[in-house]
Amino acid sequence: MATEKEKMAAAETKSPSNKSNCTSPGKKGDTDDHGLPKKKDNGCDTNLYLYHDEIEDRPRASTFLSSLADYSNTIPTASAADPDAPKPAPPARMGTLIGCYLPCIQNIFGVILFIRLTWVVGTAGAIQGFLIVLTCCCTTMLTAISMSAIATNGVVPAGGSYFMIGRSLGPECGGAVGMLFYTGTTLAAAMYIVGAVEIVLTYMAPWLSIFGDFTKDPEAMYNNFRVYGTGLLLVMGMVVFVGVKFVNKFATVALACVILSITAVYVGIFVNFNGNDKLQLCVLGKRLLKDIHISNCTKNVTGELHQLFCPNNTCDPYYISHNISIVQGIKGLASGVFFDNLQDSFLHEGQYIAYGKEPEDIEQMERPTYNQVYADLTTTFTILIGIFFPSVTGIMAGSNRSGDLADAQKSIPIGTICAILTTSFVYLSSVLLFAGTVDNLLLRDKFGQSIGGKLVVANMAWPNQWVILVGSFLSTLGAGLQSLTGAPRLLQAIAKDEIIPFLAPFAVSSSRGEPTRALLLTMCICQGGILLGNVDILAPLLSMFFLMCYGFVNLACALQTLLKTPNWRPRFKYYHWSLSLAGLTLCISIMFMTSWYYALIAMGMAGLIYKYIEYRGAEKEWGDGLRGLALSAARYSLLRLEEGPPHTKNWRPQVLVLTKLNNELKPKYRKMIAFASQLKAGKGLTVCVSVLGGDFTRRSGDAFMAKQNLRSCMNEEKVKGFVDVLVTHSVAEGLSHFVQTTGLGGLKPNTVLIGWPYGWRQSEDERTWQTFLQTVRSVTAAKMAMLVPKGINFFPDSTEKVSGNIDIWWIVHDGGMLMLLPFLLKQHRTWKNCKMRIFTVAQMEDNSIQMKKDLKMFLYHLRIEAEVEVVEMTDNDISAYTYERTLMMEQRNQMLRELRLNKKETLGMVQNLVDYHEQNAEEKLPLVQAIVDHHHGDVNKTTSKVRFAEPGAEPTVDENAPSPPLSDNEEKDKDDKDDFRSSLLHIIDSMWDSSDERSQCEDAPSLPTEEKPRDANPNGEAVMTKANITPDEGTVRRMHTAVKLNEVIVSRSHDAQLVILNLPGPPRDTKLERESNYMEFLEVLTEGLEKVLMVRGGGREVITIFS
């Protein structure tokens, strides 16, 4: 011991925090009654001698506070099988043409081609109109390339984009995109229905209007669309409900109508190469007029126009100053009108349709509009993109039928891309042909009001306009039926995947296998779209949903390609991640160019569904690409974190919870995990681990079960983190391995939470506290912070709310851990209502007033609110109680050493102990009876398997050696020996209970300090006494520190909700006596406190006054 004390004295000589050196413990001088030096040295202050070993690395709080003016962070830094698996496909019947190409053609060509394309060309001009169509076609082409790569990377059952995105990006993205695709398809049905009604009411049977002349009141026209659209929706819904087979057969008729109509338009354009006189326009100056027969297109005073523009003999100024002219509507390709249609003619709502952009010609000038045609919608390049984009959707039709294709991985890419090339050619050529054939004013007349309500495209066709009118109506009707058939089935597929819980009712099918409930919901949403009543409003809205869907397809392909997922092996080879990113960029750009608020609505809807699935559903593992993205992001972040330790401002406890398990392999102290949750408040890293003793090959099942129990316990406490269980022969070594190896790169725990070994006194196996101390040493060596909660069962649950004080006893400066921990705890609802009180200890030589002032300033700079109190500890002599307590502790250690004797010697010692405790003759009992009675009085006894050493030999315990099988007699002898030894230990431990504990029992026998026990038993064997034990000076001083601090802490913090104080460093000497003494010191230090958190820093600053 003298050698160690000399080292300690030398360490203090180097310590800058002490002004003088300690007197060497080996140096002789004046002593008191207990043999201790009377002269005390300031550097080895008796009141804080328990923390004596810490002073070299961790200055006293008073020393730290005195140097706040030069404060800086100078402490060294620490270095199922898928339940949705596709069913076997039916026998393949269809090839590329029938199964993929023609369905795509039918779905891509839609109502916009017939009723809006000419208006788009006239408004945007040939150049910008061509760019609009080209942009939309490029978007779908890039998406088709990405879709082909995904569709050929394995079998894709029906479900289209929903299935592909869900299996590529995960259930969250899949569900969000599936709902977007469903909403887009439903709104597309509404657009087709409104378009079909528009064709009938505007161009085929205007006399069916029930709200008057809609040519003079646009609202009357939209009301007609709403009423007739609702009726048509009910009829189409009944058709879908009753006969899906009819819908599939009607699709062939609709496809034939589409092909026939487009062919008729092409033929008509070339038939009218030189133009015709069928359509003539009446033009006033440069303005287009409507509702006037061509024979009345004159300025005669008695004519219709004169009476219209000159009411009450007051003529319109524009009418007076401009002439009337008749213009040929279909001029033909030979006329050169193409060059007149090159430039755009974008207008604001209410401006007149006229040649050029002169304000005199296009502005209303607050005059009556008469029968002049004006714009009903503000038009721009981006708005027209949104209106036209639905014309190019429908590219998923082939992938939706993959189960019916003979070779889906061949047919889908070829059929889809060829369909897009075909439709793109038709659209682009139509732009040029329309611009080269039709007059600009007629192209911009959206509803054909200047030609008597006729459809411009129909009047270009050959042989008759009715070919186009009937064909466009039937094809639009067919597209609407397809949407009403497909949307409910998509919704049912999403509901059956069980990723969105509230959709569960829609997974039910009728007795005929039809998704009736989903159909009803689809019709309700579709009715909402019909009530908008305007194709120009519906088209941009549904464009958003399709663009979001296509964007996710491109994102899925780009991610899979960039991440080089091992399973990413598409048969379609003509793709590249840059093409997918270009497609994604186009989709997002078109969304925001068209309508930023519609785009935000669609993205907000997708985000809400994503978060909902993440929170409530998403229990499926589909092997999605986002897992790979998360892995790549984690790898990148870990490599970045590896560059250096975090700055003090970014430090937060990353907790490693060392959990003890009970016999059922469940956490023995659940509140350890609850406390970790309260400390973390849901942030940072939490790793919950446990160690099982034994052989892994035999206990692998136990390890798995323990891990499951830890995981469910963490889930119940709402702690997000990781769990692990290690099986090893030595529990202490296993805990050390966890401390050393848990974490990866920069993502490693920096704080260890370990429970207090409550039964260390009652166990004859010194390993109960050696495991704890070895873990403390391992954590210290790893430069990690350490938290030891004592009285953990009294800590509050995470559901409770406590109020009161959190008391911090700041003995030594430990990097600011004691300041930071209560602040973090107060972030949790459980501790939110508690107040912080900080106590620090002042010695006789310290200026307590200045210390309090400095501490208040320090807390002010730390932005922490707390009450401050400086406790002055008088420099009293070591009390007789302290000396008595130390002697009892030393005697206990000596008795525990005697337990290493053989059974015969132990029996003799027990007899002496029994005699020692006898107070009168009535209490004398035979040895066996005393032990039996004591044994039966302990219902919670646990047996030990430590073997006794032979007489005169050092006891050795081979922890790694497996126990040999025991016979029945051997097992009986072994159990008897264990029972005997446990009983003996309880007798020894009961002798050394504190005087406070003994005084609580009225009948408890007391042993006067002056009375000395007998020195020998009747057999003449020596018995230890207090008189022949001389305690070590350092041990007495440490006990004095523990006693004095405990008195002060209990007097001020006995009613605190939590007491946080510094954990003294473990003894450097690994002898059994020193380790047992250390545990006793901690017991004395925390005596009388219900909830204590002992804290030891990791050797770096964790809190700073700087911003």
Q: Is the pLDDT of residue 16 over 70?
A: no
Query: Rounded distance, CA 177 to CA 194, Å?
Result: 25
Q: Is the pLDDT of residue 899 over 70?
A: no
Buried b (16+ CB within 10 A) or exposed e, 346-360: bbeeebbbbbeeeee
pLDDT in tens, 517-566: 999 999 999 999 999 988 989 998 989 999 998 998 898 889 888 877 66
Q: Which of 25-29, 731-735, 1031-1035 has the lowest mean pLDDT?
A: 25-29
Pairwise pLDDT comparison (705 vs 938), residue with the higher score: 705
Q: Hey, which residues does 838 pair with through a beta bridge? A: 808, 868
Confidence of residue 289 (pLDDT cuts 50, 70, 90): very high
Strand 324-328 with 1058-1062, pairing: unpaired
Which segment, 250-264, 498-512, 564-578, 852-866, is predicted with the most confidence on average? 250-264
- What does residue 1017 show for φ and ψ, rounded to 5 degrees? -90, 175
Given strand 324-328, what is the order of strands in its sheet?
A: 287-288, 280-284, 324-328
Say what the pLDDT of residue 816 is.
74
Q: Is the pLDDT of residue 805 over 80?
A: yes
Query: Rounded distance, CA 345 to CA 119, Å?
Result: 11
pTM of the predicted protein model: 0.62
Summary mean pLDDT of the chain: 77
Pairwise pLDDT comparison (980 vs 480), residue with the higher score: 480
Q: Is the pLDDT of residue 405 over 90?
A: no
* Percentages (nearest 5) of helix, strand, coil residues in the chain: 55, 10, 35
The mean pLDDT of 352-381, rounded to a whole number, is 89
Q: Which residue has the tokens 């473990």?
A: 1066
Pairwise pLDDT comparison (666 vs 622), residue with the higher score: 666
Collect contacts of 56-60 with beta carbons under 8 A, ≥24 apart.
56/11, 56/12, 56/14, 56/15, 57/1099, 58/812, 58/813, 58/814, 58/1097, 59/17, 59/812, 59/813, 60/17, 60/811, 60/812, 60/813
Q: Residue 1065: left if φ>0, alpha if ψ -120 to 50, beta else—which one?
A: beta
Q: Is the pLDDT of residue 698 over 50?
A: yes
The mean pLDDT of 104-119, rounded to a whole number, is 88
Say what the pLDDT of residue 896 is.
63
555: nearest Cα among 535, 538, 577 = 577
- What does residue 889 show for φ and ψ, rounded to 5 degrees? -65, -40
62: nearest Cα among 19, 28, 123, 113 = 19
Confidence of residue 369 (pLDDT cuts 50, 70, 90): confident
- What does residue 33 show for φ and ψ, rounded to 5 degrees? -65, -25
Strand 287-288 with 280-284, pairing: antiparallel
Q: Is the pLDDT of residue 1020 over 80?
A: no
Q: Do the beta carbons of residue 1038 and residue 1031 sit within 8 Å?
A: no
The mean pLDDT of 706-734, rounded to a whole number, is 89
Q: Is the pLDDT of residue 1040 over 90?
A: no
CA 1017 to the chain's CA centroid: 71
- What does residue 374 show for φ and ψ, rounded to 5 degrees? -130, 165
The mean pLDDT of 368-391, rounded to a whole number, is 91
Q: Is the pLDDT of residue 1015 over 50?
A: no
**How many Cβ atoms from other residues are within 10 Å of residue 1096's Cβ?**
25
Cis peptide before 463 (omega within 30 of 0): yes
Which amino acid is present at 507?
A: A
Say what the pLDDT of residue 1059 is.
92
Cα torsion 219, 222, 224, 230: sign: negative
Q: Which helix (H) or strand (E) holds 282?
A: strand 280-284
Q: Is the pLDDT of residue 878 over 80?
A: no
Q: Which of 333-337, 410-414, 738-742, 844-848 has the lowest mean pLDDT?
A: 844-848
Pairwise pLDDT comparison (37 vs 280), residue with the higher score: 280
Q: Which of 690-699, 881-890, 1049-1058 has the lowest mean pLDDT?
A: 881-890
Q: Which of 702-711, 974-983, 1016-1025 has the lowest mean pLDDT?
A: 1016-1025
Q: Which of 189-193, 908-912, 931-935 has the lowest mean pLDDT?
A: 931-935
Which segment, 559-563, 899-903, 933-937, is predicted with the most confidence on average? 559-563
Q: Where are the alpha helices (DSSP H) in 21-159?
A: 61-66, 96, 102-108, 111-115, 117-151
Say what the pLDDT of residue 1047 is.
85
- What does residue 252 show for φ and ψ, rounded to 5 degrees? -65, -40
Q: Do the beta carbons of residue 128 and residue 392 sit within 8 Å?
A: no
Say what the pLDDT of residue 55 is.
65
- What does residue 420 show for φ and ψ, rounded to 5 degrees? -65, -40
pLDDT in tens, 415-473: 999 999 999 999 999 999 999 999 999 999 998 889 988 899 998 888 888 999 999 99
Say what the pLDDT of residue 32 is.
53
Q: Is the pLDDT of residue 931 over 70?
A: no
Say what the pLDDT of residue 1006 is.
37
Give the single-character DSSP code of 173.
Answer: H
Q: Hey, which residues does 747 pair with through a beta bridge? A: 744
pLDDT in tens, 1051-1066: 888 889 999 988 888 8
Which amino acid is present at 44?
A: C
Q: Do the beta carbons of residue 727 and residue 994 sit within 8 Å?
A: no
* Angle, vertex CA 761, rays to CA 1043 and CA 737, nearest 5: 100
The mean pLDDT of 203-220, rounded to a whole number, is 82
pLDDT in tens, 785-797: 889 999 888 898 8
The mean pLDDT of 799-823, rounded to a whole number, is 83
Say what percent of the chain tops pLDDT 90.
Answer: 24
SS3 836: strand
Q: Which residue has the tokens 């004169």?
A: 306
Say what percent of the chain tops pLDDT 70.
Answer: 71
Confidence of residue 25 (pLDDT cuts 50, 70, 90): very low
843: nearest Cα among 813, 811, 815 = 811
The mean pLDDT of 322-350, rounded to a whole number, is 92
As a three-state string, the secondary structure of 497-539 is CCCCHHHHHHHCCCCCCCCHHHHHHHHHHHHHHHHHCCHHHHH
Say what the pLDDT of residue 926 is.
39
Which segment, 65-74, 410-419, 989-998, 1077-1086, is predicted with the most confidence on average? 410-419
Which amino acid is present at 442?
A: L
Query: Rounded distance, CA 156 to CA 885, Å?
Result: 79
Q: Hey, which residues does 869 pair with through a beta bridge? A: 839
Q: Do the beta carbons of residue 695 and residue 705 sit within 8 Å?
A: no
* Angle, vertex CA 1037, rays to CA 1031 and CA 1040, nearest 5: 110
Say what the pLDDT of residue 31 is.
52
Q: Which residue has the tokens 């006894």?
A: 941
Pair of tokens at residue 67: 């140097």
750: nearest Cα among 821, 798, 807, 690 = 821
The mean pLDDT of 1081-1098, rounded to a whole number, is 86
Q: Is the pLDDT of residue 984 over 70?
A: no
**How many Cβ atoms from other residues are within 10 Å of residue 665's Cβ?**
20
Confidence of residue 384 (pLDDT cuts 50, 70, 90): very high
Say what the pLDDT of residue 266 is.
94
Strand 867-872 with 751-754, pairing: unpaired
Q: Which helix (H) or strand (E) holds 988?
A: helix 968-991
**How many Cβ atoms from other residues are within 10 Å of residue 298's Cβ?**
16
Q: Do the beta carbons of residue 499 and residue 609 sit within 8 Å?
A: no
Confidence of residue 629 (pLDDT cuts 50, 70, 90): low
Say what the pLDDT of residue 345 is.
92
The mean pLDDT of 709-726, rounded to a whole number, is 89
Q: Is the pLDDT of residue 186 over 60?
A: yes
Strand 785-790 with 1092-1096, pairing: antiparallel
Say what the pLDDT of residue 33 is.
53
SS3 1047: helix
Q: Which of 26-35, 585-594, 638-647, 709-718 has the lowest mean pLDDT?
A: 26-35
Pairwise pLDDT comparison (81 vs 342), residue with the higher score: 342
Confidence of residue 244 (pLDDT cuts 50, 70, 90): confident
Say what the pLDDT of residue 841 is.
81
Confidence of residue 175 (pLDDT cuts 50, 70, 90): confident
Pairwise pLDDT comparison (887 vs 258), residue with the higher score: 258
Which amino acid is present at 803?
A: S
Q: Is the pLDDT of residue 1026 over 50?
A: no
Query: Rounded distance, CA 454 to CA 449, Å?
Result: 7
The mean pLDDT of 590-595, rounded to a whole number, is 90
Give the dihedral of Cα atoms 716, 720, 722, 724; nearest 10 deg.
Answer: -20
Which segment, 7-16, 775-784, 1023-1032, is predicted with the most confidence on average? 775-784
